[in-house]
Amino acid sequence: MPQRAFDPDALISMFETASATQSARLQKAVTDATLAALRGRELTLGNIRSSLDSVAKAVNAGAAKNPLGGVAVEGMLDKAVAGMDAALLKAVQANHTALRQFADRGVDLREKHLKKAIDDLDKFDDLLIGAVKKAAASAGPMAAPWQQAMEKLQAGGSMSGMSAAKTAEEFAEQMGAAIKSTRNAGVRAATVLAESYAAMASGVLVGLSEAMSQGAPAEPTPRKSAPRKR
């Protein structure tokens, strides 16, 4: 069953009416909303940044109306940040899977589209911090709790940022490998596919998010190629 696109009104309503005991539910809702905002878009830094901003804006609008206020709202924002971080972690896994598929086919990771993908992974931590910082700057009366959430994030780092840095390091080490002098047709085809790397990574992310919603293992099973017609 296709998953629904990001519904900001539903997220606003959830944060507006949430109680202090619903933190786990809020975190999952933000993760799902962030993945939904990314669905169908190429997995570029610009698209990820835009999706995070949209989700943070909805969280802010809902939390600002929550009557509990104070410490309870601060906790809600902490869970919102954790939810966005969890979604970004899925995006890192999608990048890792896509890069691994190209590497396994013998494609040179110094190819410009793949090298950019590896370089972009080092910026994932900044993506989340930037989204929270932007939310704090435009949150009005909610600026203080957002600022506290950002300080916690900066102090401890993000799971997605650490995973992205590890992935970037892993594949950067392979970029210096010798290029085979002769490439077969499959490798040449994979090199052409590298030009649409961001779209491929986006497709992997869809699979990961669907598996997560169904309680399946996070790592997708490689899709078998269709048999050639004779």
pLDDT score at 226: 45
- The answer to the question of residue 140 being in a domain is yes
What pTM, to 2 d.p., does this model score? 0.79
- Interatomic CA distance for residues 53 and 57, integer angstroms: 6
Q: Give the domain range for residue 19.
A: 8-175+184-213
pLDDT score at 200: 67
pLDDT along the chain (230 residues), means of 10: 73 93 91 93 92 96 91 93 96 90 76 83 90 90 92 91 91 61 45 61 73 54 44
- The answer to the question of residue 229 being in a domain is no
Give the HSE-up count for residue 142: Cα atoms under 13 Å, Cβ half-sphere: 30
- The answer to the question of residue 225 being in a domain is no
Instruction: Name the residue with tokens 């997220």.
Output: 11
- The answer to the question of residue 220 being in a domain is no
- The answer to the question of residue 227 being in a domain is no
Q: What is the DSSP string of 16-63?
A: HH--TT-HHHHHHHHHHHHHHHHTTS---HHHHHHHHHHHHHHHHHHH
- The answer to the question of residue 219 being in a domain is no
Nearest to 87 by CA among 115, 59, 106, 61: 59
pLDDT score at 1: 40
pLDDT score at 139: 83
How far the first Cα of the chain sits from its last, in Å, is 33
**Interior/surface letters 169-180, b for 16+ CB within 10 angstroms, e for the rest:** eebeeeeeeeee
Number of domains in the chain: 1
- The answer to the question of residue 92 being in a domain is yes
* 4, 47, 93, 168 from 198: Cα distances, Å: 21, 10, 13, 15
- The answer to the question of residue 170 being in a domain is yes
